[in-house]
Structures are given as C-alpha cells and as structure tokens.
Structure 1
C-alpha cells in the first residue's frame, strides 16, 4: 500500500513589483481608497457641493465685475481720463486680455491669497479684507455663542415644561423675535441699553487683542441684535426635538435603571436631539452675515460690510469681487462645520458611516 502523497507547501505570494503596485486596487490605490472611505458620506457630499458652489460663485463674482461698465481709469481719473490713459490703465490691470484668461489668472491668484489691488487706494484687497474681516468674525462668533446659550436655555426650559406656562411664554417670545429684523432689534437695544440705562456704548469698536474688556462692551449689543433671531429658531427646533426624544423608550429604561433626570437629559437626550438645532444654527450663518451690513452701519463697525459698501459706491471692482468671494468662502466653511457637528452629535450617522466603510473593506478583500 503506497503512502499518501505529501501535502504541497502553500504558495507564498510574490513580492509586489512596480507593475503590480501600479495596478488599480493595489498599493497607493488601496491606500487612497481606505482614506476616502473614512470620510462620512454626508460630509463627502457637502465637500463636493461646496467645491462646486465655490467655483460657480467665483465665476459669477468675476462675471459681475467683468460685465459692469466700471473702468479703473474712468473711476480714478474721472472725466479727465484720455483714451491713452484708459488704454494704459487697462494694460496695467490686465483688462486688455480675453475674459477666460483674466478669470483663470484672477482665480489662481485668489486661491493663493492675492485678490488684486484697489483701483483707488492701490492697496492689496487681501490686506483690506484682513483688517475688516476680524471685526465681522468676532461679532459673528459672539452672536453664535449667544444664540446657542439663549436658544438652548429656552428650548430646554420649554421642553421640560411641555404644555405649561413657561412653554407657552417661550414659544410666544420666540414667535415675536422671529418676525423682527435685526436692525429693529438693534435700534431698540440702543434706545433701551445705551440711551436709557447707559450701560453699554451705542457704537464703535476696539480689537479683542487690544483690550478684551472694551471689545466685549462694544461688541455685546451688535452681537445680541444679530443673535436673537437665531436663538429663537434654535429654541423652537430644540424644544420640538426634545419633546419627541423624551418620549423614547431608552429614556424610560434609563430612568428605571436609577439614572437621574439631569444625567439622562444632558448625557443622552440632548445629544440625540441637538442635530436639527445645529442645522438651524448653520442656516442662520448667511443671515448673520447679511444682517451685518445693516448692523455695522447702525453701530459704526469697521467691518467687511462697510468695506464692500464703500467699494460699491466708488465702483471699486477688485474690492467688491474680493469681499464677495471671501463671504462665500466663510459661509461654505461654516456649513462644513455644521455638517461635522451634526455627524459628531448623531450616532446614527456615525454608524451608517462605519457600516459603509465595512462594506467597502469587504469588497476590497
């Protein structure tokens, strides 16, 4: 009887070569695929749409300036501009080139931080925006903080008093605040707080780095005027989400296990119900930027809105284009931050992303 044949040794995989490493699905391709799979699908969609919106916005922003009848020589020299002056200044600003070449050069320089120079002051537009933008960012940041604090307090109080007097009072106040424009609230705050009570100044601005205390005194009223509408929206949305979340089975189970109501509310319920309120907050970012145009004029703030208004009055096209592009970029970054915040607060979105990564990894194997 012959012995059974010996088992063949397992074949060892050949080391990857340059040819196999370059094949799809191997080497760098697999590494890039794994890194791309780590990006949650909602965030990836927002990134793609943000890039598309930014490109379209840049085309519209440049097109509005290119199609306008504004001319640097006519704007600066006025009626004394000769045809030779116009030709010379058009060449100096690159306006004698075809529009596609002008747009490509402008966008390439803008992505590098160079937004051109003002037709009137000849100062770099990026320097003017860098001086004015911190004013808006500091006011908007304080307004967002006030909106979150006031909105969260109102929404939680209304949800815990569901159907009670406090709930009805918060709902009525939010309904009134949601109908008032920011400039009406700003004027009312100036009359009440600055003129009658003499607690805060009615205008002016001090940089935060120069004196944080004085910055807060000057920034509090405009930030409060901008924040009340957003706070009302957050309170209404958070109240609705909390009332629904407090009726879930996991809340009853946590209470039966002996967890305190405060721990259940702030440890589980609030985190699950905060997603829609965060979305409302993100939707109010463009409203805050739009409201800053009027608010800056009322409180005499040297922000980007005043910069763009002066540029519009002077037909200073490079400044107008730069402020519009930067404003669009700020709004898109804020939307990305909101999506990231919703993903961080929403466990279901993270589980969906994890499941998708698992399916991709299984398919790669």
Structure 2
C-alpha cells in the first residue's frame, strides 16, 4: 500500500495558496456587490420626492435657505458626482454626517455596531454548537429515536421566522417564567453576567433556523462519512469511538455544514433588524430602519457599507475554513 505523507502535501505551495485564492475570489465578488448595492441606495435616495433640506429647515424656510442647505448637503451636484465623492470619502474612513442630526455616520455606527456584532456572533455560536451537537448525535444514532427526533425538531425550527421565535421566547422566559429580560441592552462594562442576560433571548431567537440547517447538513455529511473505509479501519485498529467520530468523521463530514453556516451569516446580520426591533436593542439594524423611514440616506448608506464589509469578512473566513477541510475530505488512506 502506498503511503502518503500528508505533512508534505499540506506544506506544498499549492496547499498554502488555496486560502489566499479563496480570499481573492471573495474579494472579486465583493467589489461589484459593494458598488452596485451602494449605488442603488444612492439612486433610490435621489428618486425620492422628499427634500431633506426642506425637512430640516421646516415650513418657515425660504427658497434661498433651502438652496443653501442643499449646497451644504451636496444635493446641488449630479447624482453620479455625489456618489463618486461619497465613495472616495468612504474609502478614507469618512462616511459623512446625518442629514437631520448632523452626527457623523461613522460615530453613530461605531456606537451601535458592538450591539449588532454581539447578537450576530452569539447567534452564530449557538447555531454552531447546538446544530453541531445535534447533527453529530443524530449521525451516530442513525435510524434511532434520537435521529428521528432531531430530524423532526430541525424540520419544525427551520420554518419558524425569527420574530415568531422572539415573541415565543419573551412570552415563556420573560413573562411566564421571568428569568430573563424581555428587552433592552446593557454594555459589557455593566458586568459580563448582566450583558449576557440581555443577549440570551435575541441570540437564541436569531439562531434557531441556522442551527436546524447545520444539524441536518452535518447529520447527512457524517452519515456517509461514518461508513467510509478509513473510518471502519480506524475502528478496527481499536481507536476510541469518540476519537473516530470527532477527529476522523467530523472533520471530513463537516464541509456542507460549514458552508451552510457561512450562507446564514448574511441572514443573521439581516435578521438582526427584526430581532433588534422586538427586543429594543440599539444596534445597527435599528439605526438603519429609523434612518430609512426618515429618508436619512447618508446613515443608510454608511450602515449598508459596514454591513457588507462584515458579511464579506465572514464569507472570506468561511471560504478559508472550507479550503482547510477539503483536503481532509479528499484524503484516501
């Protein structure tokens, strides 16, 4: 039997270049997505009939006052020129200022971004742990009661919208059994325990459908992997069952589950808008919703840019992780 030196192959130039190639592909996709999405936002803001200069100054403003305010806002320039100027400033860290409060957009986002990132990261962690444990147990107990239970529960959870789960969790854990707050926010400086109590319900509500998809994909991937020759051989050689499952089978069967989890990252960030509204969280989603309803285009534009950046970074990390997993999945012993 031919022996394959996995260390040599892992350190080959081609293997070392794979993560960078994945990152490069993600960036190539990101650039046109960024340009198109931000330009559409600018276009919609330019097509609205609402004049922010008139709204800010009020009904008593004269046409001359409105003209001066439009010049301050840059609305006297053509749409393409305004977009190009905004894009250039954004690349240098300047996202402009709110039309109505004159607060810098970057400052508003910096104050609220930790809230949204905490909820999204917590939901991602819960989805990975809950879905991972459920998927592994279901795969190990294929055809058994536990496997069927996980299949039924995940099928139900995958159909439950985030706001429905949020209302149900508030009803149970904040009203019927009042052990967690129904909403609001406390920063980490108030104490990690207090901070965590305000995060539990939003994170769980946002993570359920992602956890269900991860569990189903992981169960399917590991169900096939557990019957591969190298897994059977590891068992014959007397390796502990937990090592066979968690080291050999899990690494090679986790690719689809990791891909699904990566696909849920934009949904987690987008779903934070609804969750932040239900739980009264002062996050970027709530900021974007308020700005969009008020026609505050600079805030919407800046929030969109930051959201896209977070999604792109997350997608790049998932792609790199998938590249790391694929050689193990193609391994032949």
TM-score (structure 1 length as normaliser): 0.83
Q: Give the Cα separation in 2 of the matches to 1:82 and 1:104.
A: 30
Q: Does 1:259 align with 2:235?
A: no
TM-score (structure 2 length as normaliser): 0.90
Larger radius of gyration: 1
Q: Judging changes above 3 Å, is the alpha-carbon distance between structure 1 residues 53 and 349 closer, same or farther for their aligned structure 2 residues?
A: farther
- The farther-off stretch of 70-79 and 104-113 is 70-79
Q: Give the Cα separation in 1 of the matches to 2:132 and 2:202.
A: 20
Q: Judging changes above 3 Å, is the alpha-carbon distance between structure 1 residues 37 and 163 closer, same or farther for their aligned structure 2 residues?
A: closer
Aligned to 1:11: none
Aligned to 2:64: 84
What pairs with 1:4-19 in structure 2 (closer than 5 Å)?
Answer: none
Native 8 Å contact 1:61 1:325 kept in 2: no
Partner SS state of residue 254, structure 2? helix
Q: Give the Cα separation in 1 of the matches to 2:17 and 2:132.
A: 34
Q: Does 1:120 align with 2:100?
A: yes
What pairs with 1:231-270 in structure 2 (closer than 5 Å)?
Answer: 231-270=211-250
Q: Does 1:206 align with 2:186?
A: yes
Native 8 Å contact 2:173 2:179 kept in 1: yes
Greater than 4 Å deviation, 4+ residue runs: 36-40, 348-351
Partner SS state of residue 304, structure 2? helix
Native 8 Å contact 1:271 1:346 kept in 2: no
Aligned to 1:334: 314
Aligned to 1:222: 202
Q: Give the Cα separation in 1 of the matches to 2:263 and 2:76.
A: 41
Structure 2: 5+ residue runs without aligned partners?
1-12
Partner SS state of residue 209, structure 1? helix
Q: Give the Cα separation in 2 of the matches to 1:293 and 1:73.
A: 28
Task: Write the deviation string for residues 314-337 of structure 1: whole angstroms up to 9, x where unpaired.
Answer: 221111111122222222221111
Partner SS state of residue 79, structure 1? coil
Q: Judging changes above 3 Å, is the alpha-carbon distance between structure 1 residues 166 and 106 closer, same or farther for their aligned structure 2 residues?
A: same
Q: Considering only aligned residues, what root-mean-square deviation do their CA atoms show, in Å?
A: 2.0
Task: Write the deviation string for residues 238-296 of structure 1: whole angstroms up to 9, x where unpaired.
Answer: 00000010111111111122211111111111011111111111111122122212211
Task: Write the deviation string for residues 56-75 of structure 1: whole angstroms up to 9, x where unpaired.
Answer: 22222222222323322112
Q: Give the Cα separation in 2 of the matches to 1:282 and 1:207.
A: 27
Question: Which residue among 92, 110, 115 is the counterpart of 1:135?
Answer: 115
Q: Give the Cα separation in 2 of the matches to 1:150 and 1:345.
A: 21
Q: How far off its partner does 1:38 sit?
A: 6.3
Q: Does 1:151 align with 2:140?
A: no
Q: Does 1:171 align with 2:139?
A: no
Q: Give the Cα separation in 2 of the matches to 1:115 and 1:261.
A: 54
